[in-house]
Amino acid sequence: MSQVRETVADPEPVRDRVRFGVLGCAEIAWRRTLPALALTPGAELIAVASREPDKAGEFATAFDCAPVVGYDRLLARTDIDAVYIPLPTGMHFDWATRALAAGKHVLLEKPLCATASQARILLDDARRRGLLLRENLMFRYHDQHRRVRELIASGEIGELRSITARFGIPPRAADDIRYRPELGGGALLDVGVYPIAAAQLLVPGPLSVAGAMRALDPATGVDVHGAALLVNGDGVSAQLEFGFDHGYRCAYEIWGSRGHLVLDRAFTPPPDVTPGIEIFAPQRRVLPGRPDDQFRNALRAFVNAVRAGVGVDVDPGGVGDTAAAVLDRARLLDRVRAVGAQTASST
Ligand SMILES: NC(=O)c1ccc[n+]([C@@H]2O[C@H](COP(=O)([O-])OP(=O)(O)OC[C@H]3O[C@@H](n4cnc5c(N)ncnc54)[C@H](OP(=O)(O)O)[C@@H]3O)[C@@H](O)[C@H]2O)c1
């Protein structure tokens, strides 16, 4: 313990606002995160870094911040408290390690890391340094899941028997990072993490993997779709499907001893899309959706946690953000990869 104290400096206290830098001019940053960050109380975007000057300039102009060429240069700045990292998954571990070493809090895009061993090292590192490290799995911050959990807890559909959760998207451009194994590509890591996180949120744990399959694209070597069966100690099961050679679908269904409920657009509802919760218990009725902004909610939660000095083991929102839950999720991903029978994809 005393050795750790000697080698790790206390992070600077952050009081009134959290000053952000961004590593990588990613599509998700452009489309979702940076517009939401601009509306987040207590957050200020200071700089965005790219490997390419033109991209850094374009982002800096659009989001009114400084352009930086090179991720290391951004990490060396002393006017930044926290970094948002939307790099390809295979680069998360390396750059989050460097960001923590530079004394920055880290909001890391999902999935946290490509393997559970990397996730464990990173979470331990953040804890040791007293810095916040969060996986930016934003769907959990939409109010619709709190309402679903309340319905389950109230006994609306009876005793929980099983859930089914799916996330599939249409194919991406051939040069997309998701088709590159060396960048941590593949459907399991990219979209499979969502149904696994939904199972964690809805089924009392601990969960284990009873079976799985992954279909590999022979041309790229990455998995393009797959499925997994998770179970808990009380015989509640979670059937999960994921892929990026699908018609778009993101939904879950929860089945109990009295009825079931269905939530469409479970993982990516834009702020103006409110599908509502369909309940069959036993008659069908629809609880109208309420507008909510998971992108802003997730950022607000991160900013508030940094300002409050909350570490990786505290999850004020109860949405599965503790280091233990994040690590469990990474272990489930590892396990699905390990046990998943491999078949060739037909696409
Ligand atoms: N939370 C969500 O809803 C959500 C949604 C989509 C994606 N994501 C996650 O966000 C991350 C980025 O996804 P994305 O779709 O936004 O990716 P993307 O547009 O391809 O962006 C990735 C960025 O990484 C940088 N980069 C560094 N080395 C690279 C390399 N060798 N090849 C390609 N890019 C490289 C590039 O920035 P520079 O050229 O500027 O250096 C690039 O813009 C992934 O981890 C993904 O899982 C999260």
What is the pLDDT at residue 8?
52
pLDDT along the chain (347 residues), means of 10: 41 75 98 97 98 98 98 98 98 98 98 98 98 97 96 97 98 96 97 98 96 96 97 98 95 98 95 91 94 96 95 88 96 94 75
How many angstroms separate the alpha carbon of residue 175 from the centre of ligand 1?
A: 12
> Is residue 257 packed enough to be buried (19+ CB in 10 Å), middle (13-18) or exposed (0-12)?
exposed
Choose the residue to mutate in 27, 140, 242 for probing ligand 1, maximizing ligand atoms within 8 Å of C-beta.
27
Q: Which of 104, 105, 110, 260 is catalytic?
A: 110
Looking at the CA of residue 180, tell me the nearest atom of ligand 1: 32
Query: Quick one: CA torsion of 107, 108, 110, 115, rounded to 10 degrees?
Result: -140
Beta bridge partners of 252: 165, 263
Residue 17 is predicted with a pLDDT of 94
- Catalytic site includes residue 104: no
Query: Which 3 state secondary structure label does DSSP give 37?
Result: helix
89 C-alpha to center of ligand 1: Å? 8
**What confidence score (pLDDT) does residue 320 get?**
84
Burial 46-69 (b: 16+ CB within 10 A, else e): bbbbbeeeebbebbbeebebbbbe
pLDDT at 174: 94
**pLDDT of 14:** 52
Ligand 1 atom at shortest distance from the alpha carbon of 137: 1
